[in-house]
């Protein structure tokens, strides 16, 4: 483990703690929000809340792992000998990334066949992207990191292309009043997902040692808040607005 300054240690510690609270709060908001939408949109909100719940659990574990990886002695941060466990993050992604794509598809309320076929294709590609990225994330040399990162980028590009080309046609069939919001949810997904491979490439830059550890951990954490809680709130807004159009008062739908 690299030497961290006390400030660096605290920054990551606080980022994990804040994100645990954000994910837990977003879970409650999204699950309680189910009563505000018509029945066709309840599953989209259940899944959006589930994504945040899974992330809250993993941030709690990541936070604990960070704490046990270092000891503070007289204000100096020293490695405790326990390795910080990066696997929590990847297990979290393996579960939440396919679910995030499914919540986006569900809120569009496509035909049953289209929903199943898009959810299967995109969900499988997302899982493949995460599985291929993991050996690179834990690699200690740059060539191995580049190899697995490049392989992982293949399903990533496919997903991004599907979000734009594949869902583009479906977006035009959405009610006028939500079309812009659905585009925003797609754009926020696109932008936040694009941030992950950039963070992954931090070790390729001139940054080194503890700066890499801090950059990667804080970078992924910011991206997770936007991609899960941020996109979840947009899904909630789309679902309530579509419910008003399609059901009138959703409380009596
Ligand atoms: C809530 C978590 C989300 C939305 C995670 C998304 C993760 C990615 C889009 C990761 C992509 C990667 C690549 C495209 C290449 C390098 C390895 C990864 C796994 C960081």
Does any domain span residue 50?
A: yes
**What CATH number did the domain enclosing 55 receive?**
1.20.1070.10
Coil vs helix vs strand at 78 = strand
Which residue is associated with the tokens 């589930």?
50
Q: What is the 223 CA–ligand 1 centroid distance (Å)?
A: 10
- The whole-angstrom separation of Cα 74 and Cα 174 is 60
Total domains present in the chain: 1
What is the separation of C-alpha 61 from the centre of its chain, rounded to a whole number of angstroms? 16
Q: Which residues line ligand 1 (CB under 6 A)?
A: 93, 96-97, 100, 129-130, 133, 149, 152-153, 156, 193, 196-197, 200, 224, 227-228
Of 249 and 80, more confident: 80
196 Cα: distance to centroid of ligand 1 (angstroms): 5
CB 202 within 8 A of CB 212: yes
Tell how far the Cα of 127 is from the centroid of ligand 1, in angstroms: 10
Sign, CA torsion 48/53/56/57: negative
Instruction: State the first-to-last Cα distance of the chain, in angstroms, to the nearest integer.
Output: 56
Provide the domain limits for residue 36. Answer: 6-252
pLDDT digits 0-9 by tens, 200-242: 999 999 888 899 999 999 999 999 999 999 999 999 999 999 9
For residue 47, being part of any structural domain is answered with: yes
- Angle at alpha carbon of residue 22, lines to 18 and 25, rounded to 5°: 140
- Numbers of helices and strands, H then E, in the chain: 9, 2
Lowest pLDDT segment from 4-13, 35-44, 62-71, 106-115: 106-115
Residue 4 Cα to ligand 1 midpoint, Å, equals 25
Q: Which atom of ligand 1 is nearest to the CA of 194?
A: 9
Q: Beta-carbon neighbour count of residue 129 at 10 Å? A: 25
Mutate to test the pocket of ligand 1, among 26, 103, 128, 129 (most ligand atoms within 8 A of CB): 129
Cβ–Cβ under 8 Å, residues 5 and 210: yes
Closest CA to 21 of 191, 179, 221: 221
Domain annotation covers residue 1: no
Instruction: Give residue for tokens 């390729």.
Output: 204
| 32 is a domain residue | yes
Q: Whose CA is nearest to atom 14 of ligand 1?
A: 153
When pLDDT is cut at 50, 70 and 90, the band that residue 1 belongs to is low
């Amino acid at each position: 483990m690299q030497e961290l300054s006390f400030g660096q240690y605290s920054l990551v510690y606080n980022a994990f703690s804040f994100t645990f609270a954000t994910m837990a709060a977003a879970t409650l908001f999204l699950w309680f929000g189910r009563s505000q939408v018509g029945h066709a949109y309840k599953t989209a909100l259940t899944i959006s809340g589930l994504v945040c719940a899974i992330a809250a659990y993993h941030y709690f574990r990541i936070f604990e792992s960070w704490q046990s990886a270092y000891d503070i002695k007289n204000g100096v941060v020293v490695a405790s000998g326990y390795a910080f466990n990066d696997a929590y993050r990847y297990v979290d992604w393996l579960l939440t990334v396919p679910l995030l794509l499914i919540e986006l598809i569900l809120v569009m309320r496509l035909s049953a066949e289209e929903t199943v076929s898009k959810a299967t294709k995109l969900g499988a590609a997302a899982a493949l992207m995460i599985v291929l990225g993991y050996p690179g994330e834990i690699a200690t040399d740059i060539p191995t990191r580049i190899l697995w990162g490049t392989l992982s980028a293949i399903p990533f590009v496919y997903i991004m292309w599907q979000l734009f080309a594949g869902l583009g046609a479906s977006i035009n069939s959405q009610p006028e009043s939500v079309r812009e919001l659905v585009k925003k949810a797609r754009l926020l997904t696109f932008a936040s997902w694009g941030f992950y491979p950039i963070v992954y490439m931090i070790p390729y830059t001139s940054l080194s040692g503890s700066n890499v550890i801090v950059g990667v951990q804080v970078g992924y954490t910011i991206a997770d808040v936007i991609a899960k809680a941020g996109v979840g709130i947009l899904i909630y807004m789309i679902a309530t607005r579509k419910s008003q159009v399609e059901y009138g008062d959703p409380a009596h739908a």
